[in-house]
Amino acid sequence: MTALSRRAVLAGAAALGLGACGKAAAEARPASARARALIVAARRQLGVTLAYDPVYTRLVYPGGDVDRAKGVCTDVVIRAYRDAFGIDLQRTVHEDMKRAFAAYPKRWGLRRPDSNIDHRRVPNLEMFWSRQSARLPVLRQPSDWQPGDLFTALIDGRLPHTGIVSDRIAANGNPLVIHNIGGGAREEDMLFAHRLTGRFRWRI
């Protein structure tokens, strides 16, 4: 799938959501201090990251990032962990892939780790979090999801996606999520909009 068609699909998916959190109820739920810190760091990206851009980019290492005005879904998570805790997923994923490259997905035809892109791919993050013993059962009850949980999903059954569960809930009781599904960083009711593939709780 080309970058242009991917953006079109994601933009269409975003149009199905409630939009920014101002269009949904914003009742707050209790959260641990670390979960709150992660969510606040993610929320600070709202109004800053305004576009979805999946173009391969060469990054400095460690601590590399594209312009914060743009990015992909994984960048929301990467930036939140850096800003909240100083945890650099670029470095931690790259080091783990060097140790256990055979454990990671091979769908991109790579023969060695690539610190420019590996941490920005949802399947790699799923494997990394699983290897960190952070995977939890994927449950459909809204109350099973805690603030700061990480979700992964498949959009239209084929496009991997991820984001952070907020400490706010919609009027229907669903937790809001902070993610970038095509129109920049948003906080909205979309946790159950697509087929969930993973739930993770890491370092919170």
Say how many CA atoms lie within 13 Å of 198 toward its Cβ: 24
pLDDT in tens, the chain (204 residues): 444 445 444 544 444 444 444 444 568 899 999 999 999 999 999 999 999 999 999 999 999 999 999 999 999 999 999 999 999 999 999 999 999 999 999 989 889 999 999 999 999 999 999 999 999 999 989 999 999 999 999 999 899 999 999 999 999 999 999 999 999 999 999 999 999 999 999 999
pLDDT attached to residue 26:
66
Q: Can you read off the two tokens belonging to residue 102?
A: 């055979």
Task: Measure the CA–CA gap between 166 and 37, rounded to whole angstroms.
Answer: 11
pLDDT attached to residue 43:
98
pLDDT attached to residue 172:
95
Task: Write the single-letter amino acid at 87.
Answer: I
Backbone phi and psi for residue 176, each to the nearest 5 degrees, phi listed first = -75, 160
Backbone phi and psi for residue 9, each to the nearest 5 degrees, phi listed first = -65, -45
Q: Which domains does the chain have, with CATH numbers?
A: 3-200 (3.90.1720.10)
